[in-house]
Each structure stands twice: as C-alpha cells, then as structure tokens.
Amino acid sequence: MSLDNIPDTPHSVGGTNGDDNGADHWLVRPDTIRKLWIAFITTLILLVLADLFVEHHPHFGIDGTFGFGAWYGFASCVVLVLGAKALGFFLKRPDTYYDN
C-alpha cells in the first residue's frame, strides 16, 4: 500500500488523487459555505413560519405553541450534547491507558 496518493491538506477532499491542480473542493470554499449557511437558515425560518398555517391538535397544551418543534428540538439537542460531554468526563481514560 502506497502513501503517495494521500493528500497533504484537508482542503483537497474529493480530488482525484491530489492532481486537481490545487482547486479546493466546492464544500470548503468560503463563498459556498456562506451560501449554504444562508440556505439552511432560510429553510429553517420558512419551516417555523409554516407553523402558522398548520392546525395544531395539542395533547399537553405546550405542544400547541408557536414553533414548538423548533425550540423543543434545539433544547433536546443541547441536552444530548451536554449529557455526552458529562458522560465523557466520567468515562475518559489517560492517553497511556492501552499501552500496558
């Protein structure tokens, strides 16, 4: 197995064995990243605004509030990330754990 064809920089993802004449992959270009952020945020805003036109049938009262799916999903994600960080704090081992 030869290591000659492995790209040196992380910006050469998606190239053909590093011979793409130094062109960045389209997903790492700053203008593309900015356009993707704008598209994602616009989509999220439109989805939350679409909630105004949906008839709700709440079972618990709070699930009938405006944008419930958006803020509940965000809060759930934050709880999961914080829980994973806390779990990692208790489960982490020293770097030399497997050296013995």
pLDDT band at 52 (very low <50, low <70, confident <90, very high): very high
Do the Cβ atoms of 68 and 62 come closer than 8 Å? yes
pTM: 0.61
Q: Which pLDDT belongs to residue 94?
A: 86
Question: In Å, how far from its chain's centre is CA 79?
Answer: 15
Q: Rounded CA gap, 72 and 69, in Å?
A: 5
* Digit-coded pLDDT (tens) for 65-85: 999 999 999 999 999 999 999
Q: Rounded CA gap, 70 and 59, in Å?
A: 17
Write down the residue that tokens 């759930």 correspond to: 76
